[in-house]
């Protein structure tokens, strides 16, 4: 063992100086008493890097072909934007994978914003609010409910997130009542599903939901 005459302490390991007084240590070096832990590799890290490389290759190839052919339309830019949107969605899911309920809410917000931006940049025809979001919101409600059931989560672990998805499902109806929508049926169906989901939660999980709101809001 290493020995420090100034501090009168024995040390294990291969260090040459005392960590307290920086004096030279005497004695023979020994192995560290703590085991060396292997560096934990991220799951699917190699696969993600390979897919990222293929994405970059696809964008570069599309750009080279687009710029090499005659014409002024830069169609490779929407391709690049679409792949970037997909990576944003996948990256958000991987980042929040330890809490699937939070991941679902982040996906709800992110995909809604991306859909609205795509609609705006492609001419603002309103297909996002008329069709995509009224279909997307009930799907997210179903996804949260199925995930909670599959993972055997407690009501306190998913009810608040499910409520947020249900409230999002009422947005198309609000837009319809405000006169912002021309097509009625998708928004009405979306609102109907959301109201039924909300009623089911209040009837069957009302006490758990009330307790969770009190805990979260510190009431």
CA-derived radius of gyration, the chain: 28
Q: What is the mean pLDDT of the chain?
A: 89
Inform me whether the pLDDT recorded for 193 exceeds 80.
yes
The pLDDT of residue 199 is: 95
The pLDDT of residue 34 is: 56
The pLDDT of residue 4 is: 85
Number of Cα atoms under 13 Å in the Cβ half of residue 211? 9
For the chain, strand residue ranges (E) read 2-4, 9-11
The pLDDT of residue 52 is: 93
The tens digit of pLDDT for each residue in 75-121 reads 999 999 999 999 999 888 888 888 999 999 999 999 999 999 999 99
Measured distance between the N- and C-terminal CA atoms of the chain, rounded to whole angstroms? 59
The structure tokens listed for 170 are 């009422």
The pLDDT of residue 41 is: 60
On the 0-12 / 13-18 / 19+ scale of CB atoms within 10 A, 20 is: exposed
Number of Cα atoms under 13 Å in the Cβ half of residue 48? 12
The pLDDT of residue 42 is: 61
The pLDDT of residue 36 is: 56
Max avg pLDDT among 10-14, 36-40, 183-187: 183-187
The pLDDT of residue 6 is: 85
Whole-angstrom Cα distance, residue 25 to residue 6?
9
The pLDDT of residue 132 is: 96
Number of Cα atoms under 13 Å in the Cβ half of residue 120? 6
Q: What is the DSSP letter of 35?
A: P
Inform me whether the pLDDT recorded for 70 exceeds 80.
yes
- Mean pLDDT across 155-167: 92
- Mean pLDDT across 27-31: 74
Sign of the CA dihedral with 90 first, then 95, 96, and 97 last = positive
The structure tokens listed for 205 are 């999980």
Contact 102, 161 (CB under 8 A): yes
Whole-angstrom Cα distance, residue 191 to residue 185?
10
Local confidence band at 18 (pLDDT 50, 70, 90 cut-offs) = confident
3-class DSSP assignment, residue 216: helix
The pLDDT of residue 203 is: 94
């Amino acid at each position: 063992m290493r020995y420090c005459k100034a501090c009168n302490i024995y040390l294990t390991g291969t260090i040459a100086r005392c960590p307290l007084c920086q004096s030279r240590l005497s004695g023979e070096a020994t192995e560290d008493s703590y085991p060396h832990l292997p560096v934990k590799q991220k799951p699917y890290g190699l696969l993600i890097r390979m897919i990222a490389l293929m994405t970059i290759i696809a964008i570069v190839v599309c750009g080279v072909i687009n710029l090499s052919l005659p014409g002024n339309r830069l169609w490779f830019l929407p391709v690049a934007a679409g792949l970037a949107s997909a990576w944003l969605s996948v990256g958000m899911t991987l980042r929040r994978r330890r809490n699937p309920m939070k991941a679902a809410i982040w996906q709800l917000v992110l995909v809604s914003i991306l859909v609205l931006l795509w609609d705006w940049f492609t001419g603002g025809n309103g297909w996002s609010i008329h069709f995509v979001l009224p279909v997307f919101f009930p799907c997210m409600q179903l996804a949260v409910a199925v995930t909670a059931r599959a993972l055997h989560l407690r009501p306190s672990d998913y009810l608040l997130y499910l409520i947020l998805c249900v409230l999002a499902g009422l947005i198309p109806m609000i837009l319809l009542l405000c006169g912002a929508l021309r097509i009625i049926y998708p928004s009405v169906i979306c609102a109907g599903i959301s109201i039924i989901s909300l009623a089911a939660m209040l009837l069957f999980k009302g006490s758990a939901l009330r307790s969770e709101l009190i805990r979260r809001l510190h009431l």
